Amino acid sequence: MKSLNIARRNFKAILVITMVMTFSGLFFALAFEPFHPHVIINGLSIGFLIGIFISLAEVFFFQTVGKWLSFSNLLFARTFFYSVVIAASILSVVIIHETLMSSISIVQVLELKEFKEFFTNGHFYRIFAFAILISFLINFFRQVNKLLG
């Protein structure tokens, strides 16, 4: 019975985090891009990917490993992991979007002038820096809250 309750709690946590991140991805995308149906789909996709990976990591990794790490090491590990997930999610959705919209291969997308400009004009870095700052602050306040009870 106890393991069933833990499984339910974990499933609920994964579901809630994923849903919150899915809609956060939408609002985040609309904050940086003009309104367009593709922006909505991409924002929801990015948010879902971030949400599912982060929620799985939180439930099955950080809750157990976090007990053995110091405050600063856990904060660094979470922020680093979140940064990698955010970058990979953004890149994968942008690449898949361009592949579908242009009917070209992934390799051709990586060679596109527009894709390279996505990095060189600072657009990706601006999004990424904002996401890292937000994830750091969220993790910092979560850990302080957990420390203080």
Compute mean pLDDT per 10 residues along the chain, 149 residues long, and list them.
Answer: 82 91 87 85 93 93 87 90 90 90 88 83 80 85 83
- What is the pLDDT, as a whole number, of residue 131? 80
- For residue 146, the model assigns a pLDDT of 81
138: left (phi over 0), alpha (psi -120 to 50) or beta: alpha
Would you say 82 and 54 are in contact if contact means Cβ atoms under 8 Å apart?
A: yes
Rounded to two decimals, what is the model's pTM? Answer: 0.84
List Cα–Cα distances, 141 to 8, 75, 136, in angstroms.
26, 10, 9
Which of 115, 116, 118, 138 is CA-nearest to residue 32? 118
